[in-house]
Structure 1
């Protein structure tokens, strides 16, 4: 019997942790011919998707793919992401989550890494994390 991949279970775990913590789960995806996402939002062959309950409908975090529907610029889109295309999942607010290593999922980041001992940096948040403390 083939060993099951842990990737879909880890994605669901981080998604659940984000939603239970009141955080926004972001899915970082490497776009290829099997991925169905809005083309206008792809940058450098990748896209980051907000998969929170407020942002998407009919979210299915399956063992082979992730599907949902969402609106981009007011236009509805059906999204399809094979699990092999998922680079990582993390919380928008603090960057905590997982970046997957190995195989094609790691993309160019693993090819350019200088040391296997260094942990991957979390994806950058679009907003600064600093706040004024009085």
Structure 2
């Protein structure tokens, strides 16, 4: 009998904690041939995604993969993240969460894989003016929302 990793259980627990506290759960993942994410968002073979309930639809956190639908440029697309590729899950607001060591073999052959439906000009999943790592995106914002501190 093989032992199931604790990683998917910890990911689900941190996600639930973030949601219960009113925080936005972010998922940092390595991008390789098994990862289905929009093109143009991976930096150094990694991508950070907002996996909060308001940003995802049909979120499934299984023991081997995390799948959900999200809107990019107003069009829904399916994303697939192997649990082995998850390197962190944390709250955007305070950075609390958990980081994971890369699992064996996941840093080999990193590449960005495009969903055939995703346009090259897709907007980031997050609605903030920051890029996936917190830097300003430099893109003009056309939304009606503003940040209130």
**Normalised-by-shorter TM-score class:** 0.7 to 0.9
Q: Which residue of 2 aligns with 1:44?
A: 44
Give the C-alpha shift of residue 74 in structure 1.
Answer: 1.9
Counterparts of residues 20-39 of structure 1 (less than 5 Å): 20-39=20-39
Higher helix share: 1
How many residue pairs were aligned?
Answer: 113
**Residue 65 of structure 1 corresponds to which residue in structure 2?**
65
TM-score (norm 2): 0.69
Runs of at least 5 residues in structure 1 that lack an aligned partner in the other structure: 108-123
Change (3 A) 1:104 1:39: farther
What's the offset of the Cα at 1:104?
3.8
Match of 2:134 among 94, 119, 126: 126
Query: Which consecutive unaligned segments of at least 5 residues does structure 2 have?
Result: 108-131, 136-148
The structure showing larger relative contact order (alpha-carbon pairs under 8 Å, at least 6 residues apart) is 2
